Amino acid sequence: MIIFNAYVLFSLAVTLLLSIMLVLRNKDRLTGMNGMIISMYLGMNIGLTTGILFGTVFRGDLSHSTILSMLIGAAAGTITGALFSSASAIEGLMSGIMGGMMGAMLGEMLLPEKSLILISIFLTISAASLFLFKILPKTESTIKSKKYIIKPILIFTLFIIYLYSGNLLGDEWINDLNLIKNQEQHQQHP
């Protein structure tokens, strides 16, 4: 169970760090509105993903899962937004808080199997934020050679393999959660 939790948190942390590096690298090509979009996107998705994860792990303790996921989402949105402007930081902060709150409620209400599906979806959407840095700047892009196409296909293939391996870890995670639930039920009703 702990391996899947670490996998999700590690993936979100790497996404955030890569986003920070891409912001610093492309800051001159991105506008203030782009900064708001990126900070809100990251804050909301990281908050939602951690909220669903913690809501499922801390089932029955909505306060802990909500507070943790709100803090993580707010930190992600604020850090990314602060690289652009104070308005972007505020937008990222509030989006992260809202995402963490909604994710924790979802994780609390859903069965672990359904939570795993949502975690996989939001993890994919969070990692897809890295493509915003290629899409948002106002630049003309044309395909110059076959090599230009091969690189995204290779990255996409590696990305799919990475997410699929995480999904396999998620299956073990569900089995562990169900085992813990069954043990708790047996202890309550001997």
Q: What pLDDT, on a 0 to 100 scale, did the predictor assign at position 104?
A: 95
The mean pLDDT of the chain is 86
- Tell me the two tokens of residue 136: 């948002």
Q: With 0-12 CB in 10 A as exposed, 13-18 as middle and 19+ as buried, what is 139?
A: exposed
Question: pLDDT category, 142, cuts 50, 70, 90?
Answer: low
- Tell me the two tokens of residue 109: 């209400």
Q: Report the distance separating Cα 70 and Cα 68, nearest Å.
A: 6
Number of H helices, E strands in the chain: 7, 0
Q: Are 26 and 79 in contact (CB under 8 A)?
A: no
Q: Report the distance separating Cα 73 and Cα 57, nearest Å.
A: 17
Q: What pLDDT, on a 0 to 100 scale, did the predictor assign at position 128?
A: 83
Question: pLDDT category, 158, cuts 50, 70, 90?
Answer: confident
- Tell me the two tokens of residue 11: 């993936």
Q: pTM of this prediction?
A: 0.80
Coil, helix or strand at residue 141: coil
Tens of pLDDT, residue by residue over 50-108, are 999 999 999 888 999 999 999 999 999 999 999 999 999 999 999 999 999 999 999 99
Q: Report the distance separating Cα 72 and Cα 87, nearest Å.
A: 19
Q: What pLDDT, on a 0 to 100 scale, did the predictor assign at position 134?
A: 74
